[in-house]
A and B are shown apart, each in its own frame.
Chain A
Amino acid sequence: MISIDKIQETAEILMDKAAIEIPQDYLDGLKAQASVEDGDLSSFVLQAMLENYEAAKEDRRAMCGDTGTPRWYVKMGNETQIEGGPIALEAALRRATANATNGVPLRPNRVHPLWRTDHDNNVGIGAPEIEYGYEPGGEWIDLITVHKGGLFGTDYRMLFPSDGIQGIKRFYLDCLVAFGKRGLACQPAIIGIGLGGCKDTCMVLGKRAACLRVVGSKNSDPKIAELEDELKELGNSIGMGAMGFVGKSMVVDAHIEVGYCHTGGMQMSVHAFCLSSRRAVARIFSDGRVEYRTDPDWFTDYQRRETVEWEMPQKSAQYA
Chain B
Amino acid sequence: MGNAPKVRTIRLSTTPTPEALAELRLGDVVYLDGLIYTAREGVYMRALEDKANIPMELPTESAANFHCSPAARINDDGSYELGAVTATASFRFSKWIGEWMAKSGAKLIIGKGGMSAQDYKDHFVPNGAIYLTTVGYGTGALLGRGVKRVKTVHWNKELGLAQAMWVLEVDNMGPFIVESDLQGNSLFERENAKVSENLAKVYEGTKPAVLKRFGETDDKSDEMIG
Chain A residue contacts of B140, Cβ below 8 A: 52, 56, 61-66, 276
Kindly report which residue of chain A lies nearest to residue B7, judged by CB atoms: A44
Interface string of A133-172 (1 = CB under 8 A from B): 0000000000000000001100001111011101101110
- B73 contacts A by Cβ under 8 Å: yes
Across the interface, do A66 and B86 meet the contact criterion of CB distance under 8 Å? yes
Across the interface, do A170 and B161 meet the contact criterion of CB distance under 8 Å? no
* One of B98-106, B118-126, B195-203 at the interface: B195-203
- B21 contacts A by Cβ under 8 Å: no
Partner of B198, one of A50, A64, A151, A239: A239
Chain A residue contacts of B207, Cβ below 8 A: 163-164, 166-167, 170
Instruction: Report how far A167 CA is from B202 CA in the complex, Å.
Output: 14
Interface string of B157-181 (1 = CB under 8 A from A): 0001111000000000001010000
Most buried by A among B87, B203, B223: B203
* One of B10-18, B51-59, B186-194 at the interface: B186-194
What's the least CB distance linking A101 to chain B, in Å?
8
Across the interface, do A37 and B209 meet the contact criterion of CB distance under 8 Å? no
Q: Which of A25-54 contact B (CB under 8 A)?
A: 31, 34-35, 37-38, 40-41, 43-53
Instruction: Report how far A104 CA is from B144 CA in the complex, Å.
Output: 13
- B94 contacts A by Cβ under 8 Å: no
Across the interface, do A108 and B85 meet the contact criterion of CB distance under 8 Å? no
Across the interface, do A67 and B1 meet the contact criterion of CB distance under 8 Å? no
What's the least CB distance linking A194 to chain B, in Å?
16
Across the interface, do A62 and B83 meet the contact criterion of CB distance under 8 Å? yes
What's the least CB distance linking A14 to chain B, in Å?
17
Chain A residue contacts of B195, Cβ below 8 A: 181, 238-240, 244, 246
Across the interface, do A109 and B162 meet the contact criterion of CB distance under 8 Å? yes
Residue pairs across A and B with CB atoms within 8 Å: the count is 228
Across the interface, do B83 and A159 meet the contact criterion of CB distance under 8 Å? no
Contact residues of B: prevailing secondary structure: loop
Interface string of A1-41 (1 = CB under 8 A from B): 00000000000000000010000000000010011011011
Interface string of B207-226 (1 = CB under 8 A from A): 11111000000001001110
Partner of B137, one of A167, A183, A240: A183
- B141 contacts A by Cβ under 8 Å: yes
Partner of A177, one of B88, B145, B162, B199: B199
What's the least CB distance linking A161 to chain B, in Å?
10
- A105 contacts B by Cβ under 8 Å: yes
What's the least CB distance linking A120 to chain B, in Å?
5
Interface string of A113-128 (1 = CB under 8 A from B): 0001110100000000
Partner of B177, one of A41, A53, A151: A41
Across the interface, do B188 and A108 meet the contact criterion of CB distance under 8 Å? no
Across the interface, do B135 and A106 meet the contact criterion of CB distance under 8 Å? no
Chain B residue contacts of A47, Cβ below 8 A: 2, 5
Chain B residue contacts of A109, Cβ below 8 A: 162
Chain B residue contacts of A37, Cβ below 8 A: 2-3
Q: List 6 A-B contacts (CB under 8 A).
A: A41-B7, A61-B140, A105-B81, A108-B162, A116-B163, A182-B225
4 closest residue pairs by CB, A with B: A118-B160, A65-B86, A44-B5, A64-B138
- Name B's A-contacting residues (CB within 8 A): 1-3, 5-7, 27, 29, 42, 68-73, 81-89, 112-114, 133, 135-145, 160-163, 175, 177, 188, 191-192, 194-195, 197-199, 202-203, 205-211, 220, 223-225
Supply 18 further A-B pairs (C-beta < 8 A) apart from A35-B1, A173-B202, A179-B224: A38-B3, A43-B5, A44-B29, A44-B135, A48-B135, A56-B84, A105-B73, A118-B161, A167-B206, A169-B205, A178-B224, A186-B136, A186-B138, A234-B202, A238-B195, A243-B135, A244-B191, A274-B137
